[in-house]
């Protein structure tokens, strides 16, 4: 909880330029580390976790630690809320002037009335399930705040029983 509160607090004091450098969205080194970390969890739960990366490198001007926090929170939630036997796909691609990160799962999905609120601090769709599965209720708020601090947007497509696709769009940098 303390680490998540600290992360969230940092988003209020920083803007993209404070510690920004050209970061490869879908950086193979970073991705391997991130995916391996969550791959072990996924395997314990009998989940399939795959990545689909753009054939060409996609750059964003970003704080590397912030982008790792964004990816970690999205992957952590996908693993946490996808039942055994499910699938998770992390994608990075260029789209017009944006770099897009998507994390799609075959998890429990989110009802429409909760979709706008899940980005709020401490908001939980199902408090009893959340307590059982862990987490602080700050992860998606951290994601949204870091993405907004970098001039990007967040999105969600979800339906109960059909899973969710969380998307992050950041301004793309041509190097």
- Between 13 and 162, residue with greater pLDDT: 162
Q: What is the DSSP letter of 57?
A: -
- Between 125 and 66, residue with greater pLDDT: 66
- Please provide the DSSP assignment of 88-142 as one string: EEEEEEEETTEEEEEEEE-S----HHHHTGGGSTT--S-HHHHHHH---S-HHHH
For residue 82, give the 3-state DSSP assignment.
Answer: coil
Task: Name the band, by pLDDT with cuts 50, 70 and 90, for residue 135.
Answer: low
Q: Give pLDDT, residue 109.
A: 93
- Between 145 and 29, residue with greater pLDDT: 145
Place of tokens 């602080």: 136
In what helix (H) or strand (E) does residue 24 lie, and over which residues does it extend? strand 21-25
Q: Give pLDDT, residue 55.
A: 75
């Amino acid at each position: 909880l303390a680490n998540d509160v600290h992360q969230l607090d940092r988003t209020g004091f920083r803007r993209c330029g404070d510690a920004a450098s050209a970061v490869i969205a879908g950086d193979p080194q970073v991705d391997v580390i991130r995916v391996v970390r969550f791959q072990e969890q996924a395997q314990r739960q009998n989940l399939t976790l795959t990545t689909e990366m753009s054939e060409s490198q996609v750059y964003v001007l970003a704080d590397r630690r912030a982008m790792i926090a964004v990816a970690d929170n999205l992957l952590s939630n996908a693993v946490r809320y996808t039942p055994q036997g499910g699938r998770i796909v992390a994608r990075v691609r260029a789209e017009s002037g944006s770099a897009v990160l998507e994390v799609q799962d075959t998890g429990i999905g989110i009802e429409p009335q909760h979709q706008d609120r899940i980005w709020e601090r401490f908001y939980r769709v199902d408090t009893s399930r959340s307590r059982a599965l862990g987490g602080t209720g700050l992860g998606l708020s951290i994601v949204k705040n870091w993405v907004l601090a970098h001039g990007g947007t967040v999105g969600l497509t979800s339906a109960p029983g059909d899973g969710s696709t969380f998307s992050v769009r950041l301004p793309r940098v041509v190097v």
